[in-house]
Amino acid sequence: MGAAKKITMQDHKPRQRQRKFSLIALILMALPWQPSQAAGYPERTIKIVVPFPAGGPTDVAARLIAQSLATKFGKGVVVENHPGAGGRIGAKVVATAVPDGYTLLLGGTNVNAIGAIFSDLGFDPIKSFAPIGVVCVDSLAIAISPRLPTTDFKEFVQYAKDHPGQLKYGASPGIYTQFAGEYFKLKTGTDILFVPYKGGAPAVTDALGGHIEMVVNNKSNLLPQFKDGKLKALAVTSRDRWPELPQTPTMREVGITGFPQEVLFGLLAPAGTPETIIDQLNGAINEALQSAGVRASLNGIGVDARIGTPEAFASALDEQAREWKSVIEETGITVE
């Protein structure tokens, strides 16, 4: 047998270096997305997640923006509905998605408000998202059944006080419509039973049918009922009175302050999405919102278009988060 070859440390170093380089290459190949890909964005279909059922105002707004983005980019833009749990299911889909600009959320108030009451979401309602820009602004209204023997805010409050625990109001639990209802009760000193619903639409339906006496919901959902005289508007949360209901006072005018005046809906991306993609999407939605056709379509569902920067959207969401937290703490709302 020949003499065994003497192996030195120098003989091992090239192999170790080769294994190290191979491992790094494998890791890089396994990553689903690389930052350098932002340069060619978008290269494939973009998905906008709507955390509510199809057919509602949020869904309609998302599809208007999707159509505009598809035209602008020359790529497909699809809308996926992930309803349930007050918007938490759809929000989590985007919060945990790859931050590459291809999975977006049409959210805003519905996302940051839930952070004031839920601590086990599996994501942070603020830190998990990168704001792109506001699409539209909505507001809320306190509505009552026309079957009640009351005609305005003052009369209804007195009627509720004269019938403690006998009246009912409906909203989805754990979202801003319930918060508004509980805040109304606190500030007016009324005892009105909360009836939870899976969504705003069934609550409005039951109010129309006389099964509940009061409902709190968005302008986009309630305005048609007010116009047809099927529900009465007591007050609205917006800064100014609705042009469509000039006789209906704002919450501030009836003495209720401290509640967020606006309901914001805009595009959000997963945190970590490159700024170049955020800016590109922001420019595209702002361009869409300058279209008379898009603005008219949004007005048709009861919301107003708003053009702005990612920074302005982020600031508005931060401010609302503080306001919602204050409302939750003052009312003592809990959700099981």
245 alpha carbon, distance to own chain's centre: 25
Q: Which amino acid is at 74?
A: G
Q: Structure tokens of 231? A: 């529900």
Mean pLDDT of 231-257: 95
Confidence of residue 334 (pLDDT cuts 50, 70, 90): confident
Helix 219-227 vs helix 200-208: angle between axes, to the nearest 10 degrees?
20
Task: Give the pLDDT score at 34.
Answer: 46
Distance CA 233, CA 245 (A): 8
Residue 188 has pLDDT above 80, yes or no: yes
Which pLDDT tens digit goes with each residue over 275-327? 999 999 999 999 999 999 999 999 988 899 999 999 999 999 999 888 888 99
Residue 243 has pLDDT above 60, yes or no: yes
Which pLDDT tens digit goes with each residue over 58-107? 899 999 999 999 999 999 999 999 988 878 899 999 999 999 999 999 99
List CB contacts of 112: < 8 A, sequence separation 6 or more: 125, 126, 317, 320, 321, 324
Residue 16 has pLDDT above 60, yes or no: no
Higher pLDDT, 108 or 103: 103
Distance CA 245, CA 89 (A): 34
| Residues 201, 165 contacting (CB under 8 angstroms) | no
Q: Does the CA dihedral 168-219-236-330 come out positive or negative?
A: positive
Q: Which domains does the chain have, with CATH numbers?
A: 41-137+262-331 (3.40.190.150), 140-236 (3.40.190.10)
Residue 6 has pLDDT above 70, yes or no: no
Residue 29 has pLDDT above 60, yes or no: no
Task: Give the pLDDT score at 315.
Answer: 94
List CB contacts of 150: < 8 A, sequence separation 6 or more: 144, 156, 158, 159, 232
Task: Give the pLDDT score at 336.
Answer: 60
